[in-house]
Amino acid sequence: MKLAIFGLGRMGANMARRLSRGGITVVAHNRSREPIDELLRDEEHIVPAYDEADVFRELEGPRVIWLMLPAGEITSQAIKRLLPQMSPGDVLVDGGNSRYSETMAHAERVEAAGVHFLDCGTSGGVWGLKNGYSLMVGGTKAGFAHIEPAIRVLAPTPDSGWGHVGPAGSGHFTKMIHNGIEYGMMQAMAEGLAVLRKKSEFDLDLAQVTELWREGSVVQSWLLDLTADALKQEGQGLEAIQPHVADSGEGRWTAIEAIDLGVAAPVMTLALQMRFASQDDEGYGNRVLAMMRNAFGGHVVQRRDES
């Protein structure tokens, strides 16, 4: 099998590596040439494509073009640019984190041109190269049949960790909810460790505690494995880590979707709100709260110039 990957960031480049090591030839394209050159040095089944015209010269029909690009306008523009160059029967895969509603609109336009469109929710992060990726694919069964050999290589095993989950948009929708669940799991773990650390009289070793939870515990998980390893490497105080947690669009979209559907999702929503709180360097809302407590109850307000 031979396919093209557009976008060689952390996920795209490692997916190209895993495909190459599985015997699939990857036509590698990126806006800058350095990631392409790096793949050429490291892997065997890589064909460089320094411009888009190279991609179409290297691929024979039916072509498979797999986008690993940032969600939003960049992905939309790439689809608009590529579609006129594609032929009926070709396959266009969006493997990024596009919002499912945008994906459905993309699919309608692409399928109208006779090109198969698939949305592939992809989970695995930087560990996907070694462990494989969880792949949630939406789109037609006919389109999926074209890429199934690549899916089997990318997945943890040829028979696990992947699936054709439904029509166009369902792959990205499933991945969106996956990320919302991830937010909640991470928040619960972080809060539990914060409570453990606050109980200073016990002088708990959190690296030890998380390590012992890894075996036989109800909360054992890959997230716990990563947390235990980080606490050992960074020290349980984590003094070198800034308390600022970024959020991806998918956490926000999950909360909005739950509201629109009338589904109670307080854990995922609150986990997102806690990330917002960590990003608030100004702290204006908390200053307003302190002012109100002083106004109605005479509670002391700590001024910034007070030590």
CA 156 to chain centre: 17
The pLDDT score that the predictor gives to residue 306 is 60
Q: What is the pLDDT along the chain (307 residues), one digit of tens a residue?
A: 999 999 999 899 999 999 999 999 999 999 999 999 999 999 999 999 999 999 999 999 899 999 999 999 999 999 999 999 999 999 999 999 999 999 999 999 999 999 999 999 999 988 999 999 999 999 999 999 999 999 999 999 999 999 999 999 999 999 999 999 999 999 999 999 999 999 999 999 999 999 999 999 999 999 999 999 999 988 888 888 888 888 888 999 999 999 999 999 999 999 999 999 999 888 888 888 888 888 887 878 888 776 4
pLDDT (0 to 100) of residue 248: 80
Task: Supply the residues annotated as catalytic.
Answer: 175, 182
